[in-house]
Amino acid sequence: LLQGYTRPHVRLFTGSVETGCGHATTAVGPFYCPVDQTAYFDTDFFKELVDRFGSSGGPFAQEYVVAHEYGHHVQNLQGLLGRSQQGAQGAGGNGVRTELQADCYAGIWAHYASTVKQESTGVPYLEPLSDKDISDALSAAASVGDDRIQKESTGRVNPESWTHGSSEQRQKWFTIGYQTGDPKKCDTFSAPELG
């Protein structure tokens, strides 16, 4: 995917945090800051994923969230992350395309994490994934879809204000990455249809 890949920094926080991108609070949820190349995770979010958003939970649901933020790091290294601020916004806009590509990259990580061996140990990052693991990841993806969040919070769905894509789209792009393991299949910016 990338020559000379460097891992992002990771920072756990509770409540609020100062970042290279400014001040952030729990309300933001997990995020990636390209300025300091750090993925930030509020430790309470994973409980909220189940309690507030209705995810089935499970360790792989959490790993999906982490892999999604790492996907933004890959986009940053590729020079793609800035595209999220360009062009139209909403359901077909570049912001949604950026988020769906990060979901696809999370799927690619899942595709290889149980087979690629760590250089330091010679052991794969994960045990082979079960159907339940994939189901948990898909549940997490669906639980943070814009349509689902809007429906639960306002009773209406407004695609013009979407920032991350629908539940169905998020599941679709994770699945594409997981099934193919091919970064070229994650080109959401060229896809005529996102979901």
pLDDT computed for residue 82 by the predictor = 86
Q: How far apart are CA 158 and CA 187, in angstroms?
A: 25
User: pLDDT > 90: what percent of the chain?
Assistant: 69
Residue whose token pair is 């969040």: 149
Give the gyration radius of the chain's Cα atoms. 16
51-80: per-residue pLDDT in tens? 777 677 788 989 999 999 999 999 999 999
* Confidence band, pLDDT 50/70/90 cuts, at residue 1: low
Between 46 and 20, residue with greater pLDDT? 20
What pLDDT, on the 0 to 100 scale, is given for residue 69? Answer: 97
CA distance 91 to 85: 14
Average of per-residue pLDDT across 179-185? 97
pLDDT digit string (tens) for 21-40? 999 998 888 999 999 999 99
Q: What is the pLDDT of residues 104-162, one digit of tens each?
A: 999 999 999 999 999 899 999 899 999 999 999 999 999 889 999 899 889 999 999 99
Paired tokens of 12: 């756990």
* pLDDT tens-digit series, residues 74-85: 999 999 998 887
- The full set of domain ranges for the chain reads 9-185
pLDDT over threshold 90, residue 195: no
* pLDDT of 3: 72
Contact 61, 31 (CB under 8 A): no
Please tell me the pTM assigned to this model.
0.92
